[in-house]
A = this chain, B = another copy of it.
Amino acid sequence: MYLEHITSPEDVRALPASALPALAKEIRTGIIESSAVVGGHIGSNLSVVELTIALHRVFTTPRDKVVFDVSHQTYAHKMLTGRASAFLDPARYEEVSGFSSPAESEHDLFAMGHTSTSVSLACGLVTARDLAGEKYDVVAVIGDGSLSGGLAFEGLDNAAELGSGLIIVVNDNEWSIAPNHGGIYRNLAELRATRGASEHNVFRALGLDYRYLENGHDIAALEDALRDLRGTDRPVVLHIHTKKGQGFAPAEADPESWHHAVPFDLATGEPTGASSGEDYAQITAAYLSERMAADKSVVTVSAATPYIMGFTPELRERAGAQFVDVGIAEEHAVTYVTGLARGGARPVLGIYGTFLQRAYDELWHDLCLNAVPAVILVFGASAFGTTDATHLGFYDIAMLGDMPGLPYLAPTCREEYLDMLDWALVQTNGPVAIRVPVASVESRPDFERVESYSSGSEVVRRGSEVALLALGDLFPLGEKIADTLAASGIRATLVNPRLATTVNESLLGRLAARHRVIVTLEDGILDGGFGERCARALATDSVRVLCYGLPRAFPDRYDPTELLASCGMTVEGVVADVKRLITR
């Protein structure tokens, strides 16, 4: 086995060309077998095995700089830069991050997991190099899926203007997360069909040089093409054609499902984890499909992640023109739904909270300033969402808390979620965002429908001494705390705040008058969060306010329960704190 003996890229360069196909095979096996156990971005990583080998044979990192966009193509790179054992030894599978990580290796320049950043980062490296009067190569590797992001365009546009040496490898495997959407993909298809010869060429139009390589899995051809570009003093695009999932039949056959794999059976490709039953993706898709069938003005919008709201290819097909995937283009998605709503449609945008960050200004300046009735479903917004530092899901409350006139609803169970959706789709005051639960699918069969969610909280239990305001996913924790306090003879009031970014001042005033301590529980950052708003509202009152939430930091690959515990959010911790304050 070659891979075991590769401790740095130097070892890759020392290999004879004849050894490389076997090396590629070993890398593929490492990707597939480790992903089968711990999950991973399998399709994109399989598509760049040969490219990565060629990059490390032609360029000398870390002196030369290679930036992998979004990090979904870094597994082979990790294996060739001293981290092979994390893919070969099951006991070490979890040693490395799934993303580019400077903490792991000097060959990883940036921590990253959002798309479309590589060309801009590389432009910065290029200018820094030129200012310092140094000579080395800077290479950005960007997948076709990332090209629809406006940031990638801004980077390409500026790269052309800077005019200095920069190699941009466009890894075109014909797929985004889901199928690509956008005019640029027709251009890529035309370029593939003409082997790069089409006169329509968005890269050349921007002033970039351009080369095309049809077989992106031919290591020798890749090496030749890259060697030819080494030391370039111009920005140049090398467009290579690869296959998503190359070398793993299930992923080749179904690139969307295999974009990111949960642990699976190597033989069958079937997930090995227990099916977790109904989830909010399915609940959402079922609701919206029915709603769209009944009302042709309702339109569901996704930015390249239809699966997060359960829209399988079949459901997308069924929805027809009422389901629009705009591709990786979160900014456009938000401004587009603003236009949709102004035009009389009822748009619902389903989006990950961490990616919604891309559209902060569009939320503020387009959606909220224009106060049109669009619905934003925020997925993965919780401490229980993605646990990588690059994709933290618990900054959403602080972010959406800056938006004027945007109620941000945090349902505590499926019945409340659906009732909120119902309300959001008929009200006409302006936009509404909903924090789709993540931790678990709770059910409250006795749930009573609510006329309006524009204000108001739900007092679930009435008590004295202490009032617990437990937001969304943390409502069950609030219930347990109340139960435990009751066992000590303290009858706590329990409140479902419903609104995550707006304080119910009249309720708070009443609670302050009848309780000595008010506790807020949220799985969002404390800074700018829900609890802080309550603390300010009561800052001239004598009631004590205990705010629980998460730190403004970048925990990486954390355990949600442990993270909450480290912030005092355990039943025992909160109960002890409350008792201490009450007896003070």
Contact = CB atoms under 8 A, between A and B. Distances in A.
Contact of A186 (B132, B160, B335): B160
A490 B581 CA distance: 32
A212 to B, nearest CB: 14
Contacts of A207: 183, 186-187
A576 interface: no
B540 A527 contact: no
A535 to B, nearest CB: 4
A544 B540 contact: yes
A263 interface: no
A339 to B, nearest CB: 2
Contacts of A206: 182-184, 186-187, 202
A59 to B, nearest CB: 16
B542 A542 contact: yes
B127 A156 contact: no
Contacts of A357: 360-361, 364-365
A112 B160 contact: no
Interface stretch (A144-152, A247-255, A267-275, A378-386): A144-152
A342 B127 CA distance: 11
A43 interface: no
A362 to B, nearest CB: 7
Contact of A335 (B121, B369, B402): B121
B161 A183 contact: yes
A332 B395 contact: no
Interface stretch (A11-19, A418-426, A545-553): A545-553
A284 to B, nearest CB: 20
A326 interface: yes
Q: Which applies to chain A's interface (DSSP): helix, strand, loop or mixed? A: helix
A536 interface: yes
A92 interface: no
Contacts of A531: 536
A67 B540 CA distance: 47
A398 B65 CA distance: 35
A157 B329 contact: yes
Interface in A324-364: 324, 326-327, 329, 331-332, 335-345, 347, 355, 357-358, 360-362, 364
A299 interface: yes
A135 interface: no
Interface string A146-173: 0011111111111111100000000000
A128 B339 contact: yes
Given A183-B159, A366-B121, A127 B331 contact: no
Given A128-B343, A186-B207, A200-B204, 15 more contacts: A111-B370, A117-B366, A120-B331, A120-B332, A121-B342, A123-B336, A128-B341, A128-B345, A131-B297, A157-B182, A158-B181, A358-B361, A369-B389, A404-B553, A405-B554
9 contacts: A112-B370, A120-B336, A124-B335, A124-B341, A127-B299, A128-B341, A132-B344, A154-B326, A369-B554
